[in-house]
Amino acid sequence: MTVRVYIPRDSGARSLGADTVARAIELEAKKRGEQVSLVRTGSRGLYWLEPMVEVELSDRRVAYGPVNVTDIPALFDADFLNGGNHRLALGRADEIPYLKSQERLTFSRVGIVDPYSLPDYISHGGYRGLERALALSPEQIVEEVVVSGLRGRGGAGFPAGIKWRTTLQTSASQKYIVANADEGDSGTFADRMIMEGDPFLLIEGMTIAAIATGATEGFIYLRSEYPDALHTLQAAINAAVSAGYLGDNILGTGRRFLLEVRMGAGAYICGEETAMLESLEGKRGMVRFKPPVPAIAGLFGRPTVINNVVTLASVPLIVERGGAFYKEYGVGRSRGTIPIQLAGNVKRPGLIEKPFGITLREIIYDYGGGTASGRPLRAVQVGGPLGAYFPESLLDQPIDYEALAAQGGLVGHGGIVVFDESVNLARQARYAMEFCALESCGKCTPCRIGSTRGMEIIDEIVVARDGEKASRLELLRDLCDTMSAGSLCALGGLTPLPVMSALRHFPQDFGLPPSSGG
Amino acid sequence: MDIHRLVKMANDIGSFYEALPDRSEAISSIATHLKNFWEPRMRREIIEHARQGAEATPRLKELVREAILTLE
Amino acid sequence: MTAKFVWMTLVLGREQDIQFGLLLAASQKWTHRVPWMSTTRWDKAKVAAIAQELKDKPGALMPVLRRVQDELGWVPAECVPIVAEVLNLSRAEVHGVLSFYHDFRRDPPGRNIIKVCRAESCQAMGGVSLAEHIKRRLGCDFGHTRGDGSFTLEPVYCLGNCACSPAVVINGQLLGRVTPERFDAAISELDENLL
Amino acid sequence: MLAIDDKDLGTPERKSDKLISLEVDGRTVEVPEGTSVMRAAALADIWIPKLCASDLLEAFGSCRLCLVEIEGRNGLPASCTTLAEPGMRVRTQSQRLTKLRRNVMELYMSDHPLDPFECKAGGKCELHKMAQAVGLDHVRYSSSGRNHLTLPVDNSNPYFTFDPTRCILCSRCIRACDERQGTYALTIDGRGFNSVISPGQHQHYSESECVSCGACVQLCPTDALMEKSVLETGPAERAVITTCGYCGVGCSFKAELRGDQVVRMVPNKNGLPNFGHSCVKGRFAWGYATHPDRVRTPMIRKRISDPWQEVSWEEALRYAASELKRVQAKYGRGSIGGITSSRCTNEEAYLVQKLVRAGFGNNNVDTCARVCHSPTGYGLKAALGTPAGTQDFDSVRASDVIMVIGANPTEGHPVFASIMKRRLREGAHLIVVDPRRIELVRMPHVEADYFLQLKPGTNVALLNAMSHVVVTEGLAKEDFIRERCDVREYEMWREFIVQKRNSPESVEQTTGVPAESIRGAARLYAKGPNSAIYYGLGVTEHSQGTTAVLAMVNLAMVTGNLGRAGVGINPLRGQNNVQGSNDVGSFPHEYTGYRHVSDPQVRAAFEREWGVKLDPEPGLRIPNMFDAALDGSFKGLYVEGEDIAQSDPNSQHVAEALAAMEIVIVHDIFLNETSKYAHVFLPGSSFLEKDGTFTNAERRISRVRKVLPPLAGMEDWEVTCALARAFGYPMNYSHPSEIMDELARLTPIFAGVSYGKLERLGSVQWPCNDDAPDGTAVMHVGQFVRGKGRFMLTEYIPTEERTSPRYPLILTTGRVLTQYNVGTQTRRTKNVTWYAEDRLEIHPHDAEQRGIRDNDWVEVSSRAGSIVLRAEITDRMQPGVVYTTFHYPETGANVVTTENSDWATNCPEYKVTAVQVLPTTRRPERRVPEPAHHAEMSHQ
């Protein structure tokens, strides 16, 4: 009897040797005359357990991990193909507490299905959203998304349904759907996991968006740092085209939607939607001013829906189950679930999909298990390089757009990076400015010149004598004010967040008395 | 004046109006053109040449010669 | 020639794995092509053909430059007029795009390309000292190619492997949880012909 | 920098019927929908600080100085990119805004010399003005920070410098190059703080695609891009609005002066037709006006073999007049005549024809339009009733299909080309008909839908075939034709045009253009809905020039493309005042306003005004003058402003004719080829030294204003008056405005024109009279000027100039952007940097057959003569056709051109000469200056 064994081909798992493990299992099985069928999946997101190998038994999948090639003979010896016990045995995969306690709506298939298999996708409930969408009018689809309360998961948190409605109501000979897959924030990898682990979900979400808004062409703007995602997406698009889920006549309904993946080329700013449009048009990724909003005048001047990968991936379920279903999750104006990506110095990094409202502390301690180094946690950056640094004392913040904003922070793309006590926040503040300087498109003055001046002033503050510190600090505050009030886009506009939060919460790192940061 | 040049100029004008299906319209158009645009000494010389007959060289197109003769 | 793909197992850092890893990596279908390794000169006709092939795509310039770099390993300045002509753009426009994106190399890279993530998650996991170590080990700074052409060291800001920080890419292969020792082991495994 | 007294409203004008009312700083403003808050504020005289915005460019939103507060809105929106909305309440001043603006300026100045005394623009650049405006007096950032202050200065352009240390990356230069000029020569190298403005591939300006139109320099808000003339002379103190002295676009300029010295010429941003744009000639190539070659004293000589003798004005004029009288007494009243020029003002040309008609008592006056656009006048008048272009230039912005035939706008009419290219980028379709692949066929962001590369001399066959397609495929606009055209003539023409010999298939061989392309182009043109034709000398300078003009009229009428914006038939006139010199009666058969000399009523009016009896018979045309001179009946000539010996065809013939005359008076700013045959030389005044008007190709009359005193003491109109008086005909005006008044009195189409009105309106397009007091942009609206439009039969008759085994190639001619006509002006400027000699363009195949390599000296021989020049091998040419410019007298391109001419107007057939081209050891008679890089190499 052939045993089905699941091993992620997720690039994170691969970076830890998943390919080698897979090959080793094949070789060992051959050697032992065992019939093994390997299925390469996405990652369940339990990265501290990667490479995690799952074996399919009659009624369950049992997991082992993290598996090293040297463990493989022993695993065979322990009869892991029949769920045998071994020190790496984790039991039922879906019973692992880290996973079991999550509420996976968007990531329900990631790590379970073969991302290359359209039948697998369909048999796990894929394309039901599209089927329902095809039975609805565009207005009805949009209404479901509006009702769901889904907000852009890329960082801006703008209600997706409103965007769609604008595009639907703008008449044009050509409209576009663009998936923002330029996931550049450090500490984030949810988009990548979907594209590598459940690419049809993104394709389905985009197709629904197209049908809802009257768009006939779509682009996935993918950052070049994700070569594996390019392969999966392309394979999935080809499969969807062959099966009639994409193309000139979607499932025989006469609707048209063509989809193409476009690679970025190493520019964080192209995650900003207007810079992304410039890049898609084959230009320098310079930010455009708004209005006009892309929903009215976007790619090549045509109405364009731009949504982040996770946003689009949330759509099929919303349309399948109804907006009201999705709206049940979450708190306040933050509805639904958010895939939180936990990274940095943390014992159990990974992906945690939970409804909005979960606190940072729950994420970092209950899921993450505290720092990887075992040293005390000192700071947490929430929401990527433009997100605030919070001290331990603020970890009871719920993850909620409004609540974090009230603390001078942001949800961003849901990335959380944990630092232990070895971190120096003046250095992190300087790095925030440095990153802005590195990635600034250079269009607006506050960002182009300000970020470089910001690095210089922070350097000066750190070494300044007491008498000079105050004037330098005032200049830094002025600069941050100029950047946040004067910048054209969020890169320059939000860079002051990490800087000012570091100064507020960790003044001693700048050589200032503990209370002076405020 | 150089009669070769004058005859060529007149024939060029004739070539344009030759296309008109009505011959008398063509003749009057050529004559009007010559009258409106040719300086008197040019007209004098071409008329003199036309008077010498159809065979005089350089040869005027017949249509043109007829038109010129109406200028007298 | 496949040695450059091998150090997949090296992340595990056990000597006995290395030989095994070599064998396995050779059969991987997930290896990344690094064709510029064999390209010393570039071919104008090839560049023109790439541009011709892609010119009807909307916003074709990015895909064209991407493909040129994939084929040649870099984008020589002399390509610019060729691409501009085919796409009916000015040379300035092509140059502007080429110089905007950090991915596009305007000089030929070394035989091995090492990318090191310098973003926050990796910083939190010792990425800064790892980067210092790598600079010393390779003998060249970020954004530079070593004089002997053996290595190009490029900074990169997030590889999406933050749950496995710190991360490094060696000749297209992503590595997680990299330590100085593991990095050194991986480098020492690179094919001597390429060093 | 913009011209010194220009105000900039920040964002371009928007037109809308819907007006929006908003409040800015408590003032209520009403603006058209689509207007920015910044512009609305400026219209209320509230000037919001700005650096990256200009009303010549679309909003960009990068400098962040123009942030404002808007009631009920979060944040501080940029006023340049925020559109006015009804009821909006805007605050442009607050403590918050003041602080923010000062802090932004502080960032700028942290990478810039703060001291206005270090500013090359004398602290008058916008950057320093803004620093003052926001009250920035010191920079808190450390001076040791990263900066761009050590970047090298680019001096490679002959006319301006680029100093990147002074650049603030506002991208106004790039946007000017893209949006206004359409050349896309500039970009940014790198990004973020490392950004540097980059011509081409981060090269010197001279190595980039830059065409030196000057738009970037004009729009630079700092001293980063500066005219070298300003750096040398210092900032201007005052400006005079005048009109360019080059091509028929007739751009409005501000001549900026410091003391009595011209500092620079800047396009007048409020002037038409150029809306503040310029080209390399008008913007920079004005230095010839003070070139040492300028003749400053009148000269005479008895025989042309004698040396010139400098004399007083009185003596020169007395001698000239007495000689003219002597000749006239000896050889008859018709033995003398005059030639006016398209380089002269309307008033000057008017006086010359008046001198001839009223003073000399004959009609022997002609103008250089004879050799360029006379078929336009004849054809358009015959078919439509007015010998002028039907549209204003701006009309092209409403065109859906643009057909360019026999014209090369990007070289010959660059400012109009920029407007046209903008329209093409917006999506209009383009048909190019030309034997040579001109730039417009394919250049960044412009690509012709159809390029019909026809054989020289086959325009008529091609145009007929297009009409054939329209009629036979049922694309004719029958309603338009029935209503607007003479139906009997239409039926006759219809019968003619549908004949098989006019089908695309039949003319495929003749024209060399595939029938399918002709059909496609015809369908596209017919589909429109607004299709416009622009044409140049490639249409007129043929033995069938007039026929081709008529064939275009037929095509436009049959498709209903006349009488509204976006359509029409539009000649691109070569020189600034071709239209005007024709309008004011320079042709031998007609008075001002195109009225025939034989018309008794018109003549009577002139006789009354001028107080003399006038000759009712047409006078001699230029080529007839030469013939009559050789014949012995034409012996005296007054030539103002034209170098006929160089610019007229068959130079040998012209030279013999001039030599046969007894008195030749040349009135010009430089000695030239014609003055070699002159007995009197009267020094002329350049366009900077006199008052008057020019009329451009769209019938726009614009003022020429005296910027400098005339170098030789007299303006040209004064010289003609003095010559008339010396001749015995009284001519007394105190100012050219009086000449215009007389012209207006005598000419219905000018009846409403006066200097006062020009002062008020800036410029005016004729007809301007009681029916159209502010002038007329588009003609033939509702009905044609002549009543019914005329379809005329346009039989294709091949030129007699044929290739033969001895002369197997066809030579055609044209010009380049940086040079102008015979080069009199441009050769005396730094424009020679770009084009130092005429070249013979030849297809690789023809070159290969003859063993000609690039840069080889070749001899071009025709039935008329031969010349020597260097070859340039290029696939712009089709096999069998070669091409040259005629900018350098050393080349003498007209040595080879023949005496064939247009049947109706005698416009020479410059565009078709059968030649042979062979490698040669001969060199041009006068040495052609070596291009700069060759010269450098020769020193080694």
Which residue in A279, A438, A453, A476 has the most chain D C-beta atoms within 10 A of its own C-beta, making it the best mutation to test that interface?
A453
| pLDDT in the model for residue A517 | 52
Reply yes or no on whether the pLDDT at D933 is more than 60: no
Reply yes or no on whether the pLDDT at A339 is more than 50: yes
Is D188:A442 a contact under the CB 8 Å cutoff?
A: yes
Which residue in A38, A69, A497 has the most chain C C-beta atoms within 10 A of its own C-beta, making it the best mutation to test that interface?
A69
Strands of A61-64's sheet in order across: A36-41, A3-8, A53-56, A61-64, A89-92
As a whole number, mean pLDDT of residues C131-144 equals 95
Is C165:C124 a contact under the CB 8 Å cutoff?
A: yes
Looking at the DSSP bridge assignments, the partners of residue D882 are: D811
Reply yes or no on whether the pLDDT at C29 is more than 50: no
Which residues of chain D does CATH 3.40.50.740 include?
A: 312-372+583-765
pLDDT grade, residue D890 (50/70/90)? confident
Contact C88 D202 (CB under 8 A): no
* Residues within 8 A of C (CB atoms), A 158-187 only: 183-187
Q: Provide the token pair at D131.
A: 């620093």
Residue of D nearest to C91 (CA): D200
Which among C100, C122, C160 has CB closest to A189? C160
Query: Per this entry, what is the length of chain D?
Result: 940
* Residues within 8 A of D (CB atoms), B 9-28 only: 9, 12-13, 15-16, 18-21
| pLDDT in the model for residue C41 | 64
As a whole number, mean pLDDT of residues A1-30 equals 96
Closest CA to D82 of D50, D129, D125: D50
Determine the distance in angstroms separating the CA of B27 from the nearest CA of chain D, rounded to an integer: 15
| pLDDT in the model for residue D894 | 76
Is A429:A496 a contact under the CB 8 Å cutoff?
A: no
Q: Which residues contact A123 (CB under 8 A, 6 or more apart)?
A: none
| pLDDT in the model for residue D927 | 41
Reply yes or no on whether the pLDDT at D1 is more than 90: no
Q: Provide the token pair at D574.
A: 């070569």
What domains can be seen in chain A, in order of their start residue?
3-100 (3.40.30.10), 118-327 (3.40.50.11540), 330-420 (3.10.20.600), 425-510 (1.20.1440.230)
* Residues within 8 A of C (CB atoms), A 212-231 only: 223-228
Assess C106–A contact: CB distance below 8 Å, yes or no.
Answer: no
Distances (CA, A) of D366 to A96, A289, D154, D586, D933: 101, 58, 48, 5, 43
For A403, the 3-state DSSP assignment is helix
Contact C91 D209 (CB under 8 A): yes
Q: Which CATH architecture has domain D312-372+583-765?
A: 3-Layer(aba) Sandwich (3.40)
Which among D64, D187, D194 has CB closest to A446? D64
Closest CA to A492 of A436, A452, A438, A411: A436
As a whole number, mean pLDDT of residues A171-200 equals 97
Assess D361–B contact: CB distance below 8 Å, yes or no.
Answer: no
Which among D61, D99, D146 has CB closest to A488? D61
Is D874:D909 a contact under the CB 8 Å cutoff?
A: no
As a whole number, mean pLDDT of residues D672-678 equals 93
| pLDDT in the model for residue D809 | 97
| D601 exposure class (CB count in 10 Å sphere: 0-12, 13-18, 19+) | exposed
Contact D201 C90 (CB under 8 A): no
Which residues of chain D does CATH 2.40.40.20 include?
A: 809-938
CA dist., res. D415 & res. D275, Å (int): 10
ipTM of the complex: 0.95
Q: Which CATH architecture has domain D19-93?
A: Roll (3.10)
pLDDT in tens, D25-51: 999 999 999 999 999 999 999 999 999
Which among A23, A227, A439 has CB closest to C27? A23
Which among D67, D111, D188 has CB closest to A442? D188
Which residue in A23, A173, A216 has the most chain C C-beta atoms within 10 A of its own C-beta, making it the best mutation to test that interface?
A23
Residue of D nearest to C93 (CA): D187
Q: Contacts of residue C65 in chain A, CB cutoff 8 Å?
A: 265
Using alpha carbons only, give the angle D1, D5, D6 rounded to the nearest 5 degrees. 65
| pLDDT in the model for residue B1 | 81
As a whole number, mean pLDDT of residues D464-471 equals 98
CATH number of D809-938: 2.40.40.20
**Domain with B17 in it:** 3-69
Is D590:D597 a contact under the CB 8 Å cutoff?
A: yes
* Chains contacting A (3 or more CB pairs within 8 Å): C, D
Is A115:A41 a contact under the CB 8 Å cutoff?
A: yes
CA dist., res. D230 & res. D2, Å (int): 13
Q: Contacts of residue D182 in chain C, CB cutoff 8 Å?
A: none
ω before D529 within 30° of 0 (cis)? yes
pLDDT in tens, D92-123: 999 999 999 999 999 999 998 777 777 888 87
pLDDT in tens, D190-224: 999 999 999 999 999 999 999 999 999 999 999 99
Residue of D nearest to B18 (CA): D795
Torsion sign across C-alpha atoms D565, D568, D574, D578? negative
Q: Contacts of residue A267 in chain D, CB cutoff 8 Å?
A: 191
| pLDDT in the model for residue A466 | 83
Q: Contacts of residue A437 in chain D, CB cutoff 8 Å?
A: 192-193
Percent of chain A with pLDDT strictly greater than 90: 96
pLDDT in tens, A382-410: 999 999 999 999 999 999 999 999 999 99
| pLDDT in the model for residue D889 | 76
Closest CA to D813 of D863, D878, D902, D887: D887
Which residue in A116, A196, A225, A381 has the most chain C C-beta atoms within 10 A of its own C-beta, making it the best mutation to test that interface?
A225
* Residues within 8 A of A (CB atoms), C 36-55 only: none
* Residues within 8 A of C (CB atoms), D 232-251 only: none
Contact C125 A342 (CB under 8 A): no
Which residues of chain D does CATH 3.40.228.10 include?
A: 386-571
Contact A475 D146 (CB under 8 A): no
What domains can be seen in chain C, in order of their start residue?
2-31+109-194 (3.40.30.10), 36-100 (1.10.10)
Q: Provide the token pair at B16.
A: 């344009």
Assess D184–C contact: CB distance below 8 Å, yes or no.
Answer: yes
Closest CA to D434 of D454, D410, D409, D458: D454
Alpha helices in D213-312 (DSSP H): 215-219, 228-233, 280-284
- Taking the CA of residue D321 as centre, how many other CA atoms within 13 Å lie in the half-sphere pointing to its CB? 20
Q: Contacts of residue A450 in chain D, CB cutoff 8 Å?
A: 107
Which residue in A284, A286, A448, A478 has the most chain D C-beta atoms within 10 A of its own C-beta, making it the best mutation to test that interface?
A448
- Taking the CA of residue D893 as centre, how many other CA atoms within 13 Å lie in the half-sphere pointing to its CB? 25
Reply yes or no on whether the pLDDT at A486 is more than 50: yes
Q: Which residues contact C173 (CB under 8 A, 6 or more apart)?
A: C4, C5, C7, C8, C31, C32
CATH number of D386-571: 3.40.228.10
Please report where in the chains the tokens 């109109």 appear, as a residue: D717
pLDDT grade, residue D887 (50/70/90)? confident
Contact D633 B20 (CB under 8 A): no
pLDDT grade, residue C17 (50/70/90)? very low
**Secondary structure letter of residue A272 according to DSSP:** S
As a whole number, mean pLDDT of residues D303-313 equals 96
As a whole number, mean pLDDT of residues A290-314 equals 97
Which residue in B20, B39, B45, B48 has the most chain D C-beta atoms within 10 A of its own C-beta, making it the best mutation to test that interface?
B39
Point out the least confidently predicted range of A418-432, B41-55, C41-55, D52-66: C41-55
Contact D76 A440 (CB under 8 A): no
pLDDT in tens, D443-458: 999 999 999 999 999 9
Reply yes or no on whether the pLDDT at C140 is more than 50: yes
Q: Contacts of residue C95 in chain D, CB cutoff 8 Å?
A: 187, 189, 198, 200-202
Determine the distance in angstroms separating the CA of A270 from the nearest CA of chain D, rounded to an integer: 13
As a whole number, mean pLDDT of residues B2-12 equals 94
* Residues within 8 A of A (CB atoms), C 76-95 only: 87, 93
| pLDDT in the model for residue C193 | 63
Alpha helices in A252-364 (DSSP H): 273-280, 309-321, 323-327, 360-361
CA dist., res. A109 & res. A125, Å (int): 9
CA dist., res. D162 & res. D151, Å (int): 11
| D69 exposure class (CB count in 10 Å sphere: 0-12, 13-18, 19+) | middle
Determine the distance in angstroms separating the CA of C42 from the nearest CA of chain D, rounded to an integer: 19
**How many structural domains are present in chain B?**
1
